[in-house]
Structure 1
Amino acid sequence: FGHVLVVGGDLGMAGAARMAAEAAARCGAGLTSIATRVAHAGLQAAVRPELMFHGVETPAELTSLLDRATVVAIGPGLGRGAWGRTLLHAVLASDKPLVVDADALNLLAAEPVFCDHWILTPHPGEAARLLKMTPAEVEADRFAAVEELALRFGGVAVLKGAGSLIASKADGLVALCAAGNPGMASGGMGDVLTGVIAALLAQGLPPFAAAQAGAYLHGRAGDLAAREGGERGLLATDLLPYLRQLVNV
């Protein structure tokens, strides 16, 4: 069912990459690898042995991992320093389908490029940096913002938030996802969404369909988790068992 490679987890941010990878595995990715800092790889592998952790410090060390991947998800815990920047450049030089999130989006805002085989997943703040406007301007017309993201950067854009919007440059369409709840406005939720979309893409869904289905599965899993224990205190990892249930319905 495809091989997802998650690139991220700079020093102090190992959890973000792991959450994305676990979400990908729970949504049906056949293999899931993580390219992360050497300092994180051994400890993380001991906690979740089903995931393949690789200590990577240079772009050259990433090459063989990129060759084996079906889809690359980059950004969770990537950081904005030299390590994250050089790995992003290496990933962008590959021809792999991409899911781009978090600090990879912030780095992209500083060095914009166009690509027709990626899915960008910004929240309003990241979207504002990409579009050189304020978050308030993004929120004032979310439909226009997500359409501009897809037009300016290519591929598919997912503008996260209350009523996530998905736009495809190739299809010329915008979709709305109404699933989700306020309890999902917490750290790590975006990392989980990245993994969900990457898994669906690796299993052969077209990018626009993978983004739509991923947003819905993520939101629905959040709703089921909130129904069980309430919205307050909802954690990103609370979604994982529900994601597994939903992809098997």
Structure 2
Amino acid sequence: MGGGYGYAGAVHLAAEAALNSGAGLVSVATRKEHALQVHLLSPELMGHTVEQISDISELLSKATVLVLGPGMAQRQWAKRIWPALISLDLPRVIDADALNFLAETPAYSDNWVLTPHPGEAARLLQCSTVDILQDRYKAVRTLQEKYGGVIVLKGAGTLICAEDEVYVNTTGNPGMALGGMGDVLSGIIGSLLAQKYSLLEAAKLGVYLHGLAALITRLLQSVVSVGYVPAMY
């Protein structure tokens, strides 16, 4: 769920990532104009108009996992539906502007994965980004203590924290530092949750595969640039 005006691409990236990583049936709940685009860009995705929470109450009753936030934007549309979304008892991936709403109205749950970058983490902890970067291990543990669930603190060497356990991801490259990468990650983690992985397993595996895909893509780009095409092509 997401894709406020001007940000349709974010929720579409998350939905495509969920679909391509094995989620099965994927619905996109978004603004009316963007719901129509979903069918045009990806016929296998199901677009649903949501202007108020009642528009998708039936859809939410059938959902097994919710990815919330990609491209949501902090405008009246999102503010109108946020209170109902935060109270749902579904496995959830909370990303992007949904994290900013959570920072404004803190809540605790053992049934979600939060995926902040350092700036969003700073807002969640009401400190500066510099504070986060000075001790990322302390930051991710503090986030988990305050908000519960599993925390994915994105960056070079993404950290995944569940209770007192902290894991460090080793895949990825600097080329991932661009818009849309976080949306893709949230979609992958949501897909793994839908496939019955635990919160921690989905977060660890999702982050690893996300970074591995970037490494493979960079490798293939390098190979093609020197005029050699691998046999798989």
* TM band (smaller chain): over 0.9
Partner of 2:219: 227
| 2: CA distance, partners of 1:62 / 1:149 | 30
Secondary structure class of the residue paired with 1:73: strand
- 8 Å contact kept, 1:66–1:91: no
Corresponding position: 1:114 with 2:139: no
Partner of 2:153: 159
1:122 CA drift (Å): 0.2
Aligned pair partner of 1:209 in 192, 195, 201: 201
- 8 Å contact kept, 2:35–2:49: yes
Corresponding position: 1:19 with 2:13: yes
Corresponding position: 1:173 with 2:186: no
| 1: CA distance, partners of 2:26 / 2:37 | 17
Where in structure 1 are there 5+ consecutive unaligned residues?
A: 1-6, 231-249
Q: Count how many residue pairs are aligned between Structure 1 and Structure 2.
A: 222
- 8 Å contact kept, 2:38–2:46: no
Partner of 2:144: 150
Corresponding position: 1:199 with 2:197: no
1:152 CA drift (Å): 0.3
TM-score between the two structures when normalised by the length of structure 2? 0.93
Partner of 2:59: 65
| 1: CA distance, partners of 2:72 / 2:177 | 20
| 1: CA distance, partners of 2:38 / 2:22 | 20
Partner of 1:10: 4
| 2: CA distance, partners of 1:42 / 1:206 | 33
- 8 Å contact kept, 2:69–2:96: yes
- Which range moves more in the overlay, 57-66 or 72-81? 57-66
Paired amino acid for 1:133:
C
Paired amino acid for 2:180:
G
Q: Could you list the structure 1 runs, at least 4 aligned residues long, displaced by more than 3 angstroms after superposition.
A: none
- What is the RMSD computed on CA atoms of the aligned residues? 0.9
- 8 Å contact kept, 1:74–1:88: no
Same amino acid, percent of matched pairs: 49
Greater gyration radius: 2
TM-score between the two structures when normalised by the length of structure 1? 0.87
Partner of 2:128: 134
